[in-house]
Structure 1
Amino acid sequence: MDDLLPQIKSMLAEALGDGRAAEELGDDADIIRELGMDSIQLINFLFMVEDRFDVELDFDRLDIEGLYSIRAFCGFVLSHVNALA
């Protein structure tokens, strides 16, 4: 997961588009509440993740708890990446 965190943070920073650098995002930052990502940004971010890792995320399995921290979201993505291996 350590390799995944910087990649996810980079995509989050890009999706937020507010000038924040990926390095400024804490591993346990709340994607919705703390980072303030709106629904359009979230959809774009999720599509970026799917494209980057060539996976189809199961949005039925993604509950709000999966967005409470970047680390939790990485676990969700990792479960999809590992399913392909």
Structure 2
Amino acid sequence: MNETMLDTIETIKRVLAEVRRNPELAAAMTPDTDIINDIGLDSLQMITFILSLEDAFSLEIDFEEFDFDHLASIRRLGDYIAARMAVEHV
């Protein structure tokens, strides 16, 4: 895993911990943590999480292509974000 992806994963973990208001949560997560089943965000937290990701990465998430599969793990979400950043910052 390259350094950019590691930074992306750390940012996702930080945002998740902030949304859950649990600073210790970031240290407990791995790249394979399932955002839906392991973190268990409610609907309001999920919206806050997505909006916070957009702010953290200065990108717009395209809800036409965004899928719950992207939330299967922090790594998968990181891959999605990396792809979006490549498209938006060209």
TM exceeding 0.5: yes
| 2:11 equivalent to 1:20 | no
- The answer for the alignment partner of 2:8 in structure 1 is 4
Deviations 1:38-85 (A, max 9, x none): 111111011111111111111121111111101101111111111113
Structure 1 residue 16: Cα displacement: 1.4
Question: Gaps spanning 5+ residues in structure 1: where?
Answer: none
2:46 is aligned to 42
Q: In the aligned structure 2, how far is the partner of 1:81 from the partner of 1:52?
A: 12
Once superposed, which parts of structure 1, at least 4 consecutive aligned residues long, lie more than 4 Å away? none
Whose helix proportion is higher, 1 or 2?
A: 2
> Which stretches in structure 2 are left out of the alignment for 5+ residues?
none
Aligned length: 85
User: Identity over the aligned pairs, expressed in percent?
Assistant: 34
User: What TM-score, normalized by structure 2, do the two folds share?
Assistant: 0.85
